[in-house]
Structures are given as C-alpha cells and as structure tokens.
Structure 1
Amino acid sequence: MSTSTTRASWTLRPATPEDLEPAAAVRAVVMRPDLERLGRYDEHRVRQRLRDAYTPGHTTVVEVDGAFAGCVALRPSEDCWWLEHFYLAPEVQGRGIGTGVLAALLARTDTEGATVRLNVLQGSAARRLYERHGFVLEREDPVDVLMVRVPRVSCG
C-alpha cells in the first residue's frame, strides 16, 4: 500500500526485529503527553511494554519519504483481531497518514469478516480517529477505553 500527498509519501512494509527500538522510541514520544496527564508516565516502562509485546510477524512499519515514521500491529486472537501499537511520529501526524494506514488495515479485516478490537488511553486524540472508522465503546475504566469494530459488509 502506498499513497502520496503533496507533503509526504508513505508506504507500509513488514516489520523486522531491527524495527523494535525505533518503534519503542516513537511510542515513548507519542504516548508521553497522555501518560503524563493520567499520572502513569515512566521513561523505562513506556518502552519496555512495547519490547515485551513486539512481534515482527504481526507488525507493519510505516515509512514516510523512505524513513521509519511509525508502526502498527494487527494481532490475531480467538474471535477477533487486536489493533495494537499504532504510533506515528509527531512530525508526520495530521497529514492523513494515520487515516490511510487504518483504512488499509480495516479493508483487510472487513474482507475477512473479522471484528477488530483496540485499547486507547482515556482522553487520547486517537479515539476520534478510531470512531471515524466505525469503532465504538465496548467498556472503559479510568485509564483505558476498549473499543470494538464489527466488519463492514459492502453491497455490490
């Protein structure tokens, strides 16, 4: 999948073990404001949680103008896919890249007829992106919001 805009050209590629540390660094930067607001930021833990869960086979790297700009994981579960570790570097946010990446992943899960679940932090701006793509609240607590999206069926 590749898309070009006047500001940035982005592509998706399979992740490798070497992408772990760049992904952990982007995660730390992107999540810091929300984690600080929630009183849960820890410099080491924010990176370690990604290191502990990283599976290159389920992860896709987002490159912008040929450089690492983020990642997203789509992990199979018993009854759904889990959308996890969706991080874009701040300097590439706001250009429609996240929307394009998410649309591409959801087109795949829709083709499979698969439900997708995700977890987003309370108050995160990312929640609006997910809601625009059909995710709805499943449950929440003071820190996390669990969202779900049933597959869309196309007519025709």
Structure 2
Amino acid sequence: MKIEIQQAREEDGEELTELRVDAMRESLEAVGRFEPKRARERFLNNFDPQITFRVLCESKLIGFYALQERESYLWLDHFYIAASLHGRGIGSQVMEIIKNIARSRRKSIRLGALKESRANAFYLNHGFVEKEQKAWDIYYEWAEAYS
C-alpha cells in the first residue's frame, strides 16, 4: 500500500480525533478506560498541527502521528493507524519514516503505550526497548544502537 505523509492543519483536529478514538477503542476497553468524550477532549486540548502528520493512502486519511523534537530525542506523542487497517504493514512503513527522521537528526525516539495495548508488541518488534513502567503506560526508546 503506497502511503503519503502530509503536515496536519488546524482544521484536521476533529477528523484526527475520530481516527484516534477508533484506533484506541479496543485497548482502552480492555482496561476499562474507554471514555470517548474524555479521549476527544484530551486530544483536542493538546492538538498541535505543527508537529502532527497525516498518513494518507489514495488521498484518504488512514492514520497520523505527532513527533515533537526535544533536546536529545524525538517524542512520538501519537501514532495511530485506522483500526480497520491494522496488520497490513502500514504502521511498519510509517515507523520506518519516523526512524529515518530520527537517524537524520541523530536522535533516539521515545514514546509511551498503554500497558494492555497491542501496540506494545509492535514497538518491541520494531526495536524499541522498554525503559520504564507507570500505572497505565509503558515507556520505550529506540536508538540506532538498539536495532
């Protein structure tokens, strides 16, 4: 599947929110924390189109990620692919793009994932190393040296 990455715009907030809620539903339901209203508000209150990138296929939104540059690493704040497309390799394509950005900037990538989410296996399979666990999340880091 050929994908395209585009910078998000302010007006994309609602559409990205819907995709995020749909993509997170299964994981949040598994831990009894699925609250669509809260999930929407939480995302929209912090939505920054300057660090958010839409993933498109044939001009249709199929995912997005938010990548924030920090002093010594890149923080992958959001990374979602439409639930109906999970398991098709799209996330792996996008992750390689994100890793190439990190390589070009000579930085690691850090992120957090909900403990019960299938995303944890995805990140481990893509060379991320667990660094810390908190009440609800597991925090990972990827660096060229880990791969």
Q: Is the aligned partner of 1:10 residue 2:6?
A: no
Question: Unpaired segments of 5 or more residues in structure 2?
Answer: none
**Corresponding position of 1:86:** 79
Give the ranges of 4+ consecutive aligned residues of structure 1 lying more than 6 Å apart after TM superposition.
none
Q: Within 5 Å, give how 1:4-153 maps onto structure 2.
A: 5=1, 9-152=2-145
Measured after TM superposition, the shift of residue 14 of structure 1 is: 0.8
Measured after TM superposition, the shift of residue 84 of structure 1 is: 1.7
Of the structure 1 ranges 19-28 and 141-150, higher mean CA displacement relative to structure 2 is found in 141-150
Measured after TM superposition, the shift of residue 10 of structure 1 is: 1.7
- Give the Cα separation in 1 of the matches to 2:16 and 2:111: 18
Measured after TM superposition, the shift of residue 80 of structure 1 is: 1.3
Structure with larger Rg:
1
Measured after TM superposition, the shift of residue 130 of structure 1 is: 1.2
One-letter code aligned to 1:130: Y
Measured after TM superposition, the shift of residue 79 of structure 1 is: 2.4
Normalising to structure 1: TM-score of the pair?
A: 0.87
Q: Are the counterparts in 2 of residues 38 and 143 from structure 1 also a CA contact under 8 Å?
A: no
Measured after TM superposition, the shift of residue 26 of structure 1 is: 0.8
Measured after TM superposition, the shift of residue 152 of structure 1 is: 4.5
Q: Are the counterparts in 1 of residues 63 and 81 from structure 2 also a CA contact under 8 Å?
A: yes
Question: Unpaired segments of 5 or more residues in structure 1?
Answer: none
One-letter code aligned to 1:96: G
Measured after TM superposition, the shift of residue 109 of structure 1 is: 0.4
- Give the Cα separation in 2 of the matches to 1:141 and 1:25: 26
Corresponding residue pairs, total: 147
Q: Are the counterparts in 1 of residues 62 and 81 from structure 2 also a CA contact under 8 Å?
A: yes
Residue 104 and residue 152 in structure 1: after superposition, are their counterparts in 2 closer, same or farther (change >3 A)? farther
Task: Find the residue that maps to 1:47 and give its secondary structure.
Answer: helix
Which of the two has greater helix per residue?
Answer: 2
